[in-house]
Amino acid sequence: MLFNKSRIEEYELVDQTANLEEGPSSAAGEGELTFQEEEEGGSNSDTSEFFDDIDEFSRKTHQDEDFNSDSKFQTVLSQYEGVRTISKHACGILCGIFVAIWVVAVIVYASNSPKTIIKNLQWQTNVYEMNGENVTLNTYSSSKDNVTLKSYRKNLFLPYREAITWLDRRQYPKTNGNQAGGYYLTKGKEGKYVVKQAHTKFEESLMESAQFNYENNFFYVSDVKLNPGRPFNQMNDNYHILVTDKLPQWRHLTFAIYWLYNSQTNVHIPIQPPASEILKDEKELGGAEILEKLHFAEFSPSGDYVVFGFGHNLYLQSLFDEKDSLVKITENGSPTVYNGKPDWVYEEEVIPDYKLLWWSPDEENLVFATLNDTNVKEYELDYFVKDALEVDNTYTESLQGKVDGVNQYPVKSSIRYPKPGTANPMLSIHNFQLSTKKLTAINIKDDKLGIDQILYDAEWVDSQKMLFKLSDRTSTLLSKKVYEPKRSLTELTVASSIDSFAEYKGWIEKIPPITIIPKPQDENSYVDKVVVNGRIHLGLFDNAGSSNYSKLLTSSGSWDVLLNSPVVYNDIEKTVYFLATIRSTMDAHLVSMNIENGDAKSPQIITGIDKDGFYSVDFSKDGQFLNLNYEGPLQPWQRVINTAELHDYINSRDNKNQDSGFDEFIESHKVINNFQTTKNNLQNVNLPTRVYRKVSVGKNADGTPIELNVIEILPPNFDPKTGKKHPLLVHVYGGPGSTTVTKAFMVEFQDVVSASLDAIVLIIDPRGTGDQNWAFRSFATNNLGFYEPRDIVTVASEYIAANKYIDKYKTAVWGWSYGGFTTLKTLEFDVGQTFKFGMAVAPVTNWLFYDSIYTERYMGLPSTNEKYASQGKISKYDSFKALKRFLLMHGTADDNVHLQNSLWLLDNFNLNEVENYDLHFFPDSDHSIYYHNANHIIFDKLLRWLSDAFSGRFDDL
């Protein structure tokens, strides 16, 4: 195996001190980290410092070039038998050299810039050849502290982005004469919500304060939804939705109180179900009003209606029609029947949203999904410390009181959680016609997809046609189906079907929405991601019923459109924007394509691919404005770009398709995040150096190399030439289709470990992970637990063999969630040969215990895949006896990766007499492990445990 040199050669955060004083609005200074600052204190002048630095540089550079030790010099010298005097000529030369140096020093001192020269000399000493590559290390200063867990927890190194919610054209202010666009909602001072306009001084408050009083109680606004059909500052006949008192349920779902707010009257009206629908007993409250928390509340396209969820039923409230002020759409909502809202597994694995409903653009049809979990088996959760009202994922709360402040018995809860091979949620789809108030069930029966099919996406292409993407339960077959209510209220027509395994040995997964191409005089077209020759590209579909794309907008054989990239259409420029891996699979650059005359193999480069860059984007709905975030590898920044000005600039240039893109135009825009604050914080610490590598672990069938993306983290003040031995930590996630290794700038736990323990850290994306082509991803198909440990061991063992500064007796691997599974499988496979220690947090230990939709997507049904037994679980328990020690931690109320996983593993350790491990449970914590200071404790424990491991404290246990 070779540590191949990537064609992307920005491996580190280099010192660029010349830009130290430039502010964040400077085009040249953004994104360039400077970690070296001048030493303070002492009485030495810049001239004397100059000589000291020259001497130090000379000593380091020429320490092996002592003239007196040269053998030829000694031979000549011996002929003179002890003559040791220096000739007048030689003395004159030395004096001349000294005078020349003195003159240069005086000139430099006069110009007051000695540091510039010295810095250049010192910068060269930070370059080392490692694994065949020149690596530039971050500058180290003994006067600064290394990054620590304490400074990491203070979020000192985050980019402080400004939150932006773009306004649609109908929401533009009524009073501002500038209708050029670029309006967005954000938080201003003191948490107030304000509307700003990009590149102008326009700023208008939506409300005077984020706090308001209702019935002698104070409420704090945590979110705002502007009316979509009116200018945001229109006073009459205008309501916005405010959100208060959010209570998280799962990852995206919440309970909250929703309000209608009128800025003219400053009146707050709670959105509530009818009094007859209230579920809680209010008798003991003396008639006081109780405000019920809803699942969600959403405007209709015109802003005349609000649809909201309560008790798993849907309600429609008219804002201006008193006759039909409140209509109950569904009647069958229950703890196991979800109308317009995902259940646990849908929210986690299918549609990461809090709602499952879609308005037609003309507001005539409201389509929603219903999930029936009646046959889905329950998983029970016990809460030992939490109050019943803190248990937020059940509707049948235990209202038992506490005795002496404790629960005598655990508060019990349960979730409907399907596991591989068991009953899945039953999907049905319905349409509510606004004009008739009629509810109709849509027939989705399909023998090929089965009775437990999965709805991955739904979108109105125009007011007449809606497109559904449905799959079978194993996420292998995908069927696009069209709903046309004017043709039939109940039937769907099939547009196309694909078999992901047959076509690219892959799977169907969470799908970003399609991109609508409006055509005022015809049916709308749309752009969708398609797989062509094993790569993700963009296809243009003429209408909702098209069986295939009419035009392939991208078709390169060497890069992919990022699966999770937004695809945004600008109708004025006839252009779509998207992120692609053109530079490398660790980069994400912004490019565009004209849908009418663009070259599919040569998109318009916007952010230059001639240098490393990982970007994220958030466009206004019409594509006219761009919230552009540079994520790394240098210090992140945020800018707002007017795309009309961008295209004017593009059209004025000759280099429209060159790799440099249009960074000079982008960098002329002001940085809007708090760049300087983060920059100052970064300059006050010593950071480890991140090196980005591609590592070959074999060849594909066509002879092309199989390359893994790897980040190498080197500790502050690292010097490979000293002979010092460093511990090695490998961090891994490894889930199929996931991406951990990118060139985004990060200061995370891995950097803290490196800086605190003087350790080298490798972060590895093994085969099967994301942002590479399907030839790479498909290694995970029906094969979880096989390639991940082999790739981790291969990379780590070869790295240790190639680098003598690694202490091979101080090596560890760790991961969380799927990373915990990968960690345990790696330790099982390695049998103590490469790794001596391991840490697994909230690990999957047997894929029969995880949810069905995720697991079957990659492994199929247990009845058809024998690898569930052979490699889909931890089974070789004696392998762990070869380790010096390992650590296992889990939250007891983990609704995602159940505690059952760790308890099952512990039981098997008991049966096989495995004792060399430490264990920690976190009471009532879920998968994120946060409850009651748990997140603070877990990272303290991880770092301390590693310190003990690397210092030898476990050697004699």
Please give the positions annotated as active site. Answer: 817, 894, 927
CA distance 846 to 780: 16
CA distance 464 to 522: 11
Question: How many Cβ atoms sit within 10 Å of the Cβ of residue 833?
Answer: 12
As given in the structure block, the two tokens for residue 952 are 């030898």
As given in the structure block, the two tokens for residue 891 are 């939250």
Nearest CA to 402 out of 387, 423, 417 is that of: 387
Nearest CA to 235 out of 261, 214, 212 is that of: 261
- Pair 903, 919: CB distance under 8 Å: no
Give φ, ψ of 214 to 5 degrees: -140, 120
CB contact set of 883 (below 8 Å; sequence gap of 6+): 827, 832, 835, 836, 837, 838, 916
Cβ-defined contacts of 179-188 (< 8 Å, 24+)? 181/620, 181/622, 181/624, 181/625, 182/620, 182/624, 182/625, 182/640, 182/642, 183/232, 184/620, 184/625, 184/627, 185/224, 185/226, 185/232, 186/162, 187/163
CA distance 470 to 454: 6
CA distance 790 to 766: 9
CA distance 768 to 792: 13
Q: How many CA atoms lie within 13 A of 750 on its CB side?
A: 26
As given in the structure block, the two tokens for residue 159 are 């980019």
CB contact set of 605 (below 8 Å; sequence gap of 6+): 582, 589, 591, 657, 658, 659, 660, 661, 662
Listing from the earlier edge strand, what are the strands of the sheet with 604-605? Answer: 568-570, 575-580, 589-594, 604-605
For residue 633, whether the previous peptide bond is cis, meaning omega lies within 30 degrees of 0, is yes
- Pair 516, 483: CB distance under 8 Å: no
| SS3 state at 811 | strand
- Pair 241, 299: CB distance under 8 Å: yes
The DSSP result for 420-450, as a single string, is: TTSPPPEEEEEEEETTTTEEEEE----TTT-
* Pairing label, strands 806-816, 837-841: parallel
Query: Residue written as tokens 């200063």?
Result: 141
- Pair 691, 12: CB distance under 8 Å: yes
- Pair 915, 885: CB distance under 8 Å: no
CA distance 670 to 675: 10
| SS3 state at 644 | helix
| SS3 state at 724 | coil
Nearest CA to 591 out of 533, 639, 662 is that of: 662
- Say how far residue 535 (Cα) sits from the centre of its chain: 22
CB contact set of 306 (below 8 Å; sequence gap of 6+): 241, 260, 271, 297, 298, 299, 300, 316, 317, 319
Continuous segment of H or E residues that includes residue 347:
helix 344-349
- Residue 717, sorted as left (phi over 0), alpha (psi -120 to 50) or beta, turns out to be left
Max intra-chain CA distance, the chain: 120
CA distance 825 to 577: 40
